[in-house]
Chain A
Amino acid sequence: MMVTRSYMSRREVEQQSFSIPVTVLVPLGAVLLQVLLPRVFHGLAILDLPFIVTLFFAISRRSAIAGTATGACIGLLQDVLTGQPIGVNGMAKSVIGYAGASLGSRIDVENTATRALLAFGFSLVQSVLLYLIERRLLGIRAFHLLWLHELLRAAANTAVALPVFLLLDRAKHQE
């Protein structure tokens, strides 16, 4: 009798899944909070909670396809609710999901410092992507990249991402 052996990569071994309620409700909650929080304090508009959730699911699942799909869904929902052309955030977050998942399968993403670096770096990447989409694809000439503001946004996203990641870690199912 021939024994069939399969070799699983580190990525496949450490893939983590989430229950369906968490998969659906957490992104929805993030998008809703993003819409509601700036009503309480306008300064909170600098945060991008859907981005944080996209990044978390991407680096946790370590599946590029799942990361891309999650990013696309969250981004499209954000576009629909913010009145922007549908696809702006969808495209940016698809790339973030893909890149986050690809990187998550290669490095240790459980470390807090790594997570902080990822959140900060990907926040800047998203700003550049949004700039390219708005300026190049949509042809909005008035769209400028305000670097100081984007650095502040990245810092704010990182500061919020770390506790949110710790909170969402509890919802993981190890496979």
Chain B
Amino acid sequence: MDFLTQYKNALFLIAVLLAQAIALAVQVRSPVDAAKPDGPSVRLIRMWAMTSVTPVERVTHALGSGAGHAWSEYIDLRHVRQQNKDLQQQIARMRIEEAAISEDALEGRRLQAMLGFKESYVGSTVAAEVIGASGSEQSHMLTIDKGSRDGLRPDMAVITQNGVVGKLRDVFPATSEVLELNDQSSGAGVVLATTRIRAILRGTLTGRVQIGNLTADSRIQPGEQVLTSGGDQVYPRGLPVGVVESIAPDPDHQPYSAIRVRPAVDLDRVEEVLVITGMQADLTPAVQQDLAAAEVQHAADLSAERLPGIHDDANPAAASGAAPAANAPPVTPHPLPVLHSDRFTSGTTPPATEMTPGAASSAESSPGAPSSTQAQPQSGATR
């Protein structure tokens, strides 16, 4: 009894440590199901804790986003017009690029159909807001404001418009926890875009993202894009993951290389995400419509290529894929600009009223005749 009294503090500490060590051992020994990373009791504890914390997180998030909204929407509006103009120009450029890419997509689809290749596409997504983070350097997790009530389930992929964020780990009724790509327990099947080398991407303790299962390969260079391979059955194929940042020998796992990847998404500043809730074997109706329009445009472009005279170079948008409006005026064919003008070139000959019978025939000698350098812009202006 004296022993217990004398060493009660140390015994209490040992008892507390022992209890937690046993709890840890139970968690580690539990069969790890991809959809259920925690055992039922641990999951229950986490759910209670999250349910208690979520209202506070929602309130602070609402206050923070409200203040940010007031600032960005009402006060900080400098350069907005210029940004709007730039964005409109960017949209115009992207429409042109999109038309070309749609062509490739269409061709790829035809080839896939010919080969009987099964492809899956993002069918449905749920938008969610990030309301919390793990707050620890050891774990990189986010809390989002959507849960099982919104149709979310563990292991669903979480993305933004820039690329992959991670996947759902724990899903509670009203909230979910997202395991980010840079968490040390995270992993994803990836493929290097240029070399088509498949690899496994993992998070590190320091919050970085790296590929560690490849040996040194001179073909892999910094700057190469990394995409999801689809092999892990979590992330759909072809989503941007990041860019190869550096390649160095991995001191812990020789002879493998540590290929550091810079994530496509700034994982420390994610505000809104999309959770991929469903995949489908075919494209969505909207995308199919776009592709059909691209196919029609492609046919029109082929005809235009065979008749180069009707190219409207003054309107490149019309020339490269944007469908002409129904009430647009018909394009008047004009000759292509000349490379070297001579006296037979359109616009270089002076009008008949200025010509004198018996005068020198050279156009250049006539004072009223425009020079060839003057003729170029005139010719261009009429096109």
Least CB separation from B61: chain A residue: A39
Complex CA distance for A68 and B18, rounded to whole angstroms = 13
Q: Least Cβ distance of B33 to chain A in Å?
A: 16
Q: Check B9–A84 contact: CB distance below 8 A.
A: no
Q: Does B141 touch A at the CB level, under 8 Å?
A: yes
> Which residues on the B side are within 8 Å of A142 (C-beta)?
184, 204-205, 252
Q: Check B56–A32 contact: CB distance below 8 A.
A: yes
Q: Least Cβ distance of A75 to chain B in Å?
A: 8
**The one of A65, A86, A98 that contacts B42, using a Cβ cutoff of 8 Å:** A86
Least CB separation from B47: chain A residue: A80
Q: Does B342 touch A at the CB level, under 8 Å?
A: no
**The one of A64, A83, A98, A140 that contacts B141, using a Cβ cutoff of 8 Å:** A83
Q: Check B24–A69 contact: CB distance below 8 A.
A: no
> Which residues on the A side are within 8 Å of B132 (C-beta)?
35-36, 39
Q: Does A155 touch B at the CB level, under 8 Å?
A: no
Give how many A residues have a beta carbon under 8 Å from the other chain's beta carbons. Answer: 47
Q: Does A34 touch B at the CB level, under 8 Å?
A: yes
Complex CA distance for A90 and B45, rounded to whole angstroms = 14
Given A35-B57, A81-B49: A87 in contact with B21 (beta carbons within 8 A): yes
> Which residues on the B side are within 8 Å of A34 (C-beta)?
135-136
Q: Check B170–A83 contact: CB distance below 8 A.
A: yes
Given A65-B12, A82-B134: A138 in contact with B28 (beta carbons within 8 A): yes
Interface of A is mostly: helix
Complex CA distance for A157 and B56, rounded to whole angstroms = 24
> Which residues on the B side are within 8 Å of A82 (C-beta)?
134-136, 138-139, 141
Q: Least Cβ distance of A154 to chain B in Å?
A: 13
Q: Does B177 touch A at the CB level, under 8 Å?
A: yes
Complex CA distance for A78 and B138, rounded to whole angstroms = 12
Least CB separation from A65: chain B residue: B12
Q: Does A143 touch B at the CB level, under 8 Å?
A: yes
Least CB separation from A77: chain B residue: B49
Q: Least Cβ distance of A64 to chain B in Å?
A: 4
Q: Does A117 touch B at the CB level, under 8 Å?
A: no
Q: Does B46 touch A at the CB level, under 8 Å?
A: yes
Q: Check A68–B16 contact: CB distance below 8 A.
A: yes
Q: Check A84–B136 contact: CB distance below 8 A.
A: yes
Given A87-B23, A137-B21, A142-B204: A36 in contact with B135 (beta carbons within 8 A): yes
Least CB separation from A43: chain B residue: B268
Q: Check A83–B177 contact: CB distance below 8 A.
A: yes
> Which residues on the A side are within 8 Å of B269 (C-beta)?
42
Q: Does B249 touch A at the CB level, under 8 Å?
A: no
Q: Does B111 touch A at the CB level, under 8 Å?
A: no
Q: Check A98–B9 contact: CB distance below 8 A.
A: yes
Q: Check A80–B137 contact: CB distance below 8 A.
A: no
Q: Check A45–B27 contact: CB distance below 8 A.
A: no
Q: Give a binary string over A77-118; 1 marks a CB under 8 Å from any B CB, 0 the rest.
A: 110111111111011001100100010000000000000000
Q: Does A159 touch B at the CB level, under 8 Å?
A: no
Q: Check A72–B130 contact: CB distance below 8 A.
A: no
> Which residues on the A side are within 8 Å of B23 (C-beta)?
86-87
> Which residues on the A side are within 8 Å of B134 (C-beta)?
35, 38, 81-83
> Which residues on the A side are within 8 Å of B139 (C-beta)?
82-84
Q: Give a binary string over B132-158; 1 marks a CB under 8 Å from any A CB, 0 the rest.
A: 111111110100000000000000000
**The one of B17, B20, B133, B170 that contacts A38, using a Cβ cutoff of 8 Å:** B133
Q: Does B53 touch A at the CB level, under 8 Å?
A: yes
> Which residues on the B side are within 8 Å of A86 (C-beta)?
20, 23-24, 27, 42, 45
Q: Does B369 touch A at the CB level, under 8 Å?
A: no
> Which residues on the B side are within 8 Å of A84 (C-beta)?
136, 138-139
Q: Least Cβ distance of B211 to chain A in Å?
A: 14
Q: Does A130 touch B at the CB level, under 8 Å?
A: yes
Complex CA distance for A139 and B252, rounded to whole angstroms = 15
Q: Check B53–A35 contact: CB distance below 8 A.
A: yes
Complex CA distance for A68 and B17, rounded to whole angstroms = 9
Q: Does A37 touch B at the CB level, under 8 Å?
A: yes
Complex CA distance for A144 and B136, rounded to whole angstroms = 16
User: Apart from A82-B139, A83-B170, what are 20 other A-B pairs with CB-CB below 8 Å?
Assistant: A36-B132, A39-B64, A39-B130, A39-B132, A64-B13, A65-B12, A68-B12, A69-B16, A77-B49, A81-B49, A81-B50, A81-B135, A84-B136, A86-B42, A95-B13, A137-B24, A138-B24, A138-B28, A143-B184, A146-B206
- A and B contact pairs by CB, cutoff 8 A, 24 listed: A35-B133, A37-B135, A38-B133, A42-B268, A42-B269, A64-B9, A68-B12, A69-B12, A77-B49, A80-B45, A80-B49, A81-B50, A81-B135, A86-B24, A86-B27, A86-B45, A87-B20, A87-B24, A133-B24, A137-B21, A139-B28, A140-B184, A142-B204, A143-B184
Q: Give A contacts to B, CB under 8 Å.
A: 32, 34-40, 42, 45-46, 64-65, 68-69, 72, 76-78, 80-88, 90-91, 94-95, 98, 102, 130, 133-134, 137-144, 146, 149
